[in-house]
Amino acid sequence: SAPRSDPEEPRISAYACQRRTPLDHLNKIFTDASEVLAENAEFSESEGRGLAFRKAGSVLRSLPFAVSRMEDLRGVPCLGEHSRKIIQEILEDGVSGEVEGVLRSERYRAMKALTGVFGVGVKTADRWVREGLRTPGDLLTSGHRLSREQEAGVRYYEDLNCPVTRAEADAIGEIVKEAVHSILPGARVTLTGGFRRGKEAGHDVDLLITHPEEGKEEGLLGKLTSWLDSQGVLLYQRVSEGSGGRGRESGPMDHFHRSFSILKLGEQPGAPPGPPQPGASSAGQTQEAASPRGQGGAQGRGWRAVRVDLVICPYSQFAYALLGWTGSQQFERDLRRFASQERDMSLNSHGLYQREQVRTPPPPHCISESSPPLSLSLSLSSPPL
């Protein structure tokens, strides 16, 4: 694509982490389209194509004007031929034929419904679709063997596909805070993920937990989830032990102790959930069904199921963990790409490393919680913020 002719015109960075990306933006009609095409690509395991549409969506979200002619896109990076064709179609016809086709296709709909089950990835959903399954309800009637996670995913399908509100996220935060403080006074619980970015709704609640005295956080996750279980709040969990951030930290995945869980949220945000049902207080045991077929759901039941990620981190890594768990995914991806390609450094949720030192991190420099967002122009030699 041609560079902008006007040298005064600020260039738009190809890195999402260098673009201002407001929650509310002006090009929703185009970003909705690229989201559908990205999903559809991911459903056929075309990761490259999926990423291209995600990048296109991300740059469109950052534009301070509504795109109304193709010329508006001169010099805008991250828009490939395919994305531009879709935008042109929408500008001319109001909709994209290709996107409409995807939305109508039986395969896309089935993949969307089945990957919408907690614990079901693209590979599994694809196999089921080829076997003729279309909805989570079909899973029950077909008698397919489900993992414990998928069973919970089907049981709470409706609730988990109903967006979590900000008030519900705060209420979950309060429940977890109360539990954490009763176990380890002085520990800190921080709401991260989409809600930290200011979103009004999300698919889960992401909580990062630490204690200002390094080492005090060890063993906290097990105690926390036992406490939640004893209160009848823990409907399901899968714990990832990791190394607690004390092993060799490299690669894209982090190594914090964490729990991918489903918690029970009582009727009024902040209100304690109902008493545990006799014999049903352990995660994974039978609870009232949130049926995937329409009846059930949160209404009338007095509680709803909410997906919650609980992450424990040592205090010395808190700044990086907070940065890494705040998202968005595109921002995180490009932040790491920027570190690597522009600074020859390596960034993950544990620290920022000189390239040669990936396996022996220097002591992470201290960034206080009240600091302004980490500026990318900082180098390691800068004084602490």
3-state secondary structure 20-81: CCCCCCCCHHHHHHHHHHHHHHHHCCCHHHHHHHHHHHHHHHCCCCCCCCHHHHCCCCCCCH
Q: Catalytic: which of 126, 204, 229, 334?
A: 204
Active site residue 344: no
- Contact between 255 and 312 under an 8 Å Cβ cutoff? The reply is no
- Options 349, 351, 352, 361; binder of ligand 8DG; rule CB under 6 A: 349
Phi, psi of 98 (to 5 degrees): -65, -45
Nearer to ligand 8DG, 153 or 193 (CB): 193
Active site residue 204: yes
Using CB under 6 A as the binding rule, whether residue 168 contacts ligand 8DG is answered as: no
Sorted by sequence, the CB contacts under 8 Å of residue 159 that are 6+ apart come out as 290, 297, 298, 304, 305, 306
Q: Which of 96, 26, 86 is nearest to 61 (CA)?
A: 26
- Options 57, 173, 193, 242; binder of Mn ion; rule CB under 5 A: 193
Active site residue 254: no
CB of 35 to ligand 8DG, least distance (A): 12
- Options 226, 285, 329, 357; binder of ligand 8DG; rule CB under 6 A: 329
Binding mask 201-220 for Mn ion (x = CB under 5 A): -x-x-x--------------
- Could you count the other beta carbons within 10 Å of the beta carbon of residue 175? 24
Q: Residues binding ligand 8DG: what is the number (CB under 6 A)? A: 16
Using CB under 6 A as the binding rule, whether residue 325 contacts ligand 8DG is answered as: yes
Give the C-alpha separation, 231 to 266, whole Å: 12
The 3-state DSSP class for residue 376 equals: coil
Helix locations, 94-163, DSSP H = 97-104, 106-115, 122-130, 136-142, 148-155, 157-160
Nearer to ligand 8DG, 232 or 327 (CB): 327
CB of 253 to ligand 8DG, least distance (A): 5
Using CB under 6 A as the binding rule, whether residue 217 contacts ligand 8DG is answered as: no
Q: Which two tokens stand for residue 13?
A: 């960075």
CB of 325 to Mn ion, least distance (A): 8
Label residue 279 left, alpha or beta by phi (over 0 means left) and psi (-120 to 50 means alpha): left
Could you tell which of ligand 8DG, Mn ion, none binds residue 324, using a CB distance below 5 to 8 A set by kind? ligand 8DG
- Contact between 154 and 115 under an 8 Å Cβ cutoff? The reply is no
Using CB under 6 A as the binding rule, whether residue 245 contacts ligand 8DG is answered as: no
Binding site for Mn ion (CB under 5 A): 193-194, 202, 204, 206, 309
List residues binding ligand 8DG (CB under 6 A).
193-194, 199, 202-204, 206, 253-254, 324-325, 327-329, 332, 349
Active site residues: 204, 206, 309
